[in-house]
Every structure is written in structure tokens, then in C-alpha cells.
Amino acid sequence: MADNEDPRRPQNPFAPALRSVYGGVSAYPLDLGPAPIVPSQPGGLLPEQGVPIKLPGANYPPAGAIAVDLVGDGNIAPAASATLVTFTVPDGLRFRADGIGFGADDEVALRFLTWSIRFNGDPVAAGYNNVPAAVGSIRQLAPIFQLVGSSILFTVLAAADPTAVLTYRYVCRVKGWVYSEREVG
């Protein structure tokens, strides 16, 4: 036996039924390069290769969506207000706010807090104006549904009740995603 021979039986990767058709010899081209493989990651803000499906990007994060997790805080005196979270939606994209939660150094302080969502400083027409902060927490967010268009400044404005005794530090967390709406098909 030569030095370069493998003492084990040579292996044929083809099924026995195919080997018997060709008399135990498998012929395949040796001059072909590697097969082209489609990348496993989607392109930036583009869906992966595959069957296009029509789902609204507001309900489900589409392929290529960018996760957004915003956290902000501020000290708010009684009868005062402060902007806790600010986010400018990038040009050509949409922002879907999916969850919100609040916390404070002293959790009792949350009973004095109300909050509003604003677009470019103006209150949102319906839904999220002067809402008590008894929804969600920093760890477990309350579900919300708010769509924000391209190039809009999204802010969460918090206000403390005048009956609050002290200035408290409040924390706000907003989660969602930024995506590009595109017609499929």
C-alpha cells in the first residue's frame, strides 16, 4: 500500500440506486465552480429573496425594519412638564410606536404623572393626550399603536400634577420600529 492511500474503503456520495444504474461509477463535471448562494441576510430596508407577501408594515415589522428602543428621563416639579423622549423619524421612513412604559425613583410618584404624545410639538389628535402614567413599566411596556410619518419629531411630554409634594425623577421607555412602506407585487 502506498503512503498516500487511505486504508479505508473509498466513499461514493451517490445513492446506491444511482450507482447501480451507472455500474458503480459516478461521473460528474469537475470543471464547475461553486454554486451561487443567495445571501442569508436581507438587504438594508429590502425584503429577503422569496415569496413576496402583503402585510402592513404598521402591524408587523417587515424584513429590513430597524428596531427602536428609546429611553429618556427628567426631573419634573409639581405643576411643571418636561419632554422625556424625543425621536426624529428619518426621511423616507415611518415609525411605529409599539409599547410605552414609565418608572420613577419613587414609584408612588407615578400617580402624579400624565403624559402625551406630540408630533412636531403639537398634540396627537386622538388617543394619547393627558394619559395617566399607570400604564406599563420600564420592563413590561403597555401596548400602544401610534404611526409617525417621515421627518416628524416624535416626543413624549410628561406633566406632574400640582398636588405633587416634591420634584420627582421620571423615566419613560418607548419601543417600536422604523420601516419603509413599499408596494409588493
CA torsion 79-83-85-91 (nearest 10°) is 150
- The answer to whether residue 83 sits within a structural domain is yes
Q: CA-based angle 84:86:87, to the nearest 5?
A: 150
Domain hosting 139: range is 66-179
Could you tell me how many residues make up the chain? 185
The pLDDT score that the predictor gives to residue 48 is 53
Residue 33 counted as domain residue: no
C-alpha cell at 73: 428621563
What is the reported pLDDT for 158?
Answer: 95
Residues of the chain with pLDDT under 70: 1-54, 125, 182-185
Q: Is residue 159 in a domain?
A: yes
* Whether 158 contacts 95, CB under 8 Å: no
In a domain, 18, yes or no: no
Q: What is the pLDDT of residue 107?
A: 87
Count of domains for the chain: 1
How confident is the model at residue 79, as a pLDDT?
94
85-112 confidence digits (pLDDT tens): 999 999 989 999 999 999 999 888 999 9
Residue 95 counted as domain residue: yes
What per-residue confidence (pLDDT) applies to 167? Answer: 94
Domain CATH code at residue 92: 2.60.120.380
Three cell numbers at 64?
Answer: 429590513
Put simply, whether the predicted model's pTM sits higher than 0.85 gets the answer no
- pLDDT score for 52: 58
